A and B are shown apart, each in its own frame.
Chain A
Amino acid sequence: MQTEVRPSTRTLTYGDALAEATAQEMARDDSVIIFGIGLDDHKAIFGTTRGLAERFGPERVFDTPLSEDAMTGVAIGAAMAGLRPVHVHIRQDFLLLAMNQLINIAAKAHYMYGGGVQVPLVVRSVVGKSWGQGAQHSQALHSLFMHVPGLKVVAPTTPYDAKGCLVASIRDNNPVMFMEHRLLHYEKGFVDEDIYSVPLGKARVLAEGNDVTLVGISYMAVECMRARVYLQQRGISAEVIDPVTLSPLDMETIRRSAAKTGKLLVVDCGWTMCGASAEILAQATEGMQPGTAPGVWRMGFAPTTCPTSPGLEELFYPNGRTIASMVNANCLGGDPDWTPREEDHLTDKIVFKGPF
């Protein structure tokens, strides 16, 4: 179900929307605290935590030791005590140091203690891309977390949803894995100045179309929108869906679109094996009578480790052109050799040049 975007005339970047959501929620609720490695330094997690330490003080906003495991446990313990911690990781890869706490405790505490405790915890983490992020700064591990009951997984694409979903995640009484793509931090969009919440578990139809349904996860929703423009050159009308929340998944919106177009391509910013794309396609077709299910395809990271050399890295990721080519050739049986000519306004604008 598409959630309504409220009208706003103010433009904000995704990163600034996150900072604003955090500040407004911290002002509203003094049980909200935020911490993470480097969180209050001069770079402020790409600006997403800028100003918080000055405004809310070092008890509620703080840098931490390089102890992802224990600091996740600290967040859980603080949540059990009634605080609402936001734990920020500048790379999602670092969550692998915290998996015991996230999966054995955060996900399970409410259940295994018979409802005796709640863990209202937000774990923000940034997925890197470009400028040689490489093997351990580029992974998107959302499907690992989708696998586990008790966790919610959110991956907003637009600045509007970034703010609203972060507010909703902080207010949620469950552990929420909040996934941000590094390149999305620069995306601009309309964002209400007032505080608002976007309900978790609702997909968003970013653009309507009739010939094929493209489901793009996180930054791949942007690439799907680019593919949609390329496909218009061939007279192909693509509907683009941003799931926004990956667990719980809003399959109703995806199924309805797939029933309309008859063709469903999921493009993930992660690997396809046992990934979010596999789950979405399974749920989109499971139990259907022969002949009634949509055609299904998926794209994602190449099944390799992410390389750093630019030419290789380019091949590792789907992009608007490769998605358009896939749709034209495989989903619609068109010319297998067609790849749209690259258009400047439909390519990544990497506004950072490093070192980070």
Chain B
Amino acid sequence: MALETRPTSEAGIADLSHLFRSLYRIRRVEEEVARIYPSDKIKSPIHLSIGQEAIAVGVCDALEPHDVVFGTYRGHATYLAKGGDLKGLTAELYGKATGSARGKGGSMHLIDPAHHVMGSSAVVSTTISHAAGYAYALKLRRSDAIVASFFGDGATEEGAFYEALNFAALRQLPILFICENNGYAVHTPIRVRQARPDGIVDRAEAIGVPSYRFQNDDVLTILREVRSAVAGIRGGSGPRLFECPTYRWKEHVGPNEDYDAGYRTYEEARPWVERDQVVMIGQTLEPSLRAAIESDVEAEVREAFEFAEASPFPDPGELWTHVYAD
């Protein structure tokens, strides 16, 4: 797949204000999560997407509302970009009864079936095959919806990844595989985990899934290419895979930075921070429009955290509900 490089300001295909709202909203939600976290009000391990938002936003902006996403435990961005209810997210992190999983799933198991956000797993690679199964059902039902499966670079080391790709290619499923490659599995860099760290797309191609690796996390490039791929998938092209390089700014789990921990340096992060997509897309907007969006988002975020704070914890009886479906 050839891909020419174009300056983002010339992309001309995107509603930049919409993209900025989505990027900024995710960033601000997670900054608030990080700010509040030391208070211990958030009763859930959190894996922040800060720095990685452009992938979820670029991909989900290329999807239709009835398309389906499956995510990872670093999934706040995917959930929000696809339209997952913000109050459901904040309340879930607080362990409240009003959370998206009624306070029983936490940050790693966000779900919003009404917006076709079908969940995420704490076990790496686990949801890739769910996405394939969902895509199989959509194809069987002659639906025109497609599925996007998000996973990290670490997932491409699991056997389940290859099994799922093979089935998707074999049955030409309507599915988009999105590898969010932030270069680390917890604290272990990809170069000490994979014989060919640059080989993810080659391996997927060898299985039969046409694949492409982006050069960086330019949101407009992601949007443009994914939009084209989605049109093909919806038309029956079968699965596609995109490897999206990105960088995790915060520690693996928790609200802090960890550039002093020894396994990476801020110098490695700097180029990613300097081309922060939240800032770059924001700079394309008229200052007054940008300020209005920021003001809207701030109000929405404030309201969502107030909602979480004010919501009740689940009743004790909730422990026993949903063990089995009726």
Q: How far is the CB of A135 from chain B (nearest CB, A)?
A: 22
Q: How far is the CB of B235 from chain A (nearest CB, A)?
A: 19
Whether A310 is near chain B, meaning CB under 8 Å from some CB there, is no
0/1 per residue, B75-117, Cβ < 8 Å to A?
0000000000000000000000001111111000101110000
Interface contact A105-B324, CB-CB below 8 Å: no
Interface contact A69-B159, CB-CB below 8 Å: yes
Q: How far is the CB of B194 from chain A (nearest CB, A)?
A: 20
Q: Which of A65, A78, A111, A149 is B133 in contact with, Cβ under 8 Å?
A: A78
Known A113-B105, A150-B323: A80·B129 in contact at CB below 8 Å: no
Interface contact B101-A116, CB-CB below 8 Å: yes
Chain B residues numbered 148-167 whose CB sits less than 8 Å from any CB in chain A: 159-160, 163-164, 166-167
Q: How far is the CB of B105 from chain A (nearest CB, A)?
A: 5
Q: How far is the CA of A64 from the CA of B136 in the complex (A)?
A: 13
Whether B233 is near chain A, meaning CB under 8 Å from some CB there, is no
Known A70-B164, A80-B118: A114·B133 in contact at CB below 8 Å: no
Name the residue on A nearest B137 (C-beta): A81
Known A74-B167, A114-B103: A174·B132 in contact at CB below 8 Å: no
Residues of A within 8 A of B127 (CB): 73
Most interface-central of A67, A71, A113 (chain B CB within 10 A)? A113
Residues of A within 8 A of B103 (CB): 114
Whether A336 is near chain B, meaning CB under 8 Å from some CB there, is no
Name the residue on A nearest B92 (C-beta): A114
Most interface-central of A72, A73, A120, A150 (chain B CB within 10 A)? A73
Q: Number of A residues whose C-beta is below 8 Å from B?
A: 43
Q: How far is the CA of A119 from the CA of B123 in the complex (A)?
A: 18
Interface contact A112-B105, CB-CB below 8 Å: yes
Interface contact B111-A77, CB-CB below 8 Å: no
Interface contact A73-B134, CB-CB below 8 Å: no
Name the residue on B nearest A104 (C-beta): B123
Residues of A within 8 A of B164 (CB): 67, 70, 73-74
Q: How far is the CB of A15 from chain B (nearest CB, A)?
A: 27
11 sampled A-B residue pairs with Cβ under 8 A: A65-B170, A69-B129, A73-B129, A80-B133, A104-B123, A110-B323, A113-B105, A114-B101, A114-B103, A116-B111, A116-B112
Binding site for A on B (CB under 8 A): 68, 70, 99-105, 109, 111-113, 118-119, 121, 123, 126-138, 140-141, 159-160, 163-164, 166-167, 170, 321-326
Q: A70-B167, A76-B129, A112-B104 are in contact. List 10 more A-B contacts (CB 8 A).
A: A73-B130, A75-B133, A77-B118, A78-B136, A80-B134, A100-B123, A100-B160, A104-B121, A116-B113, A152-B324
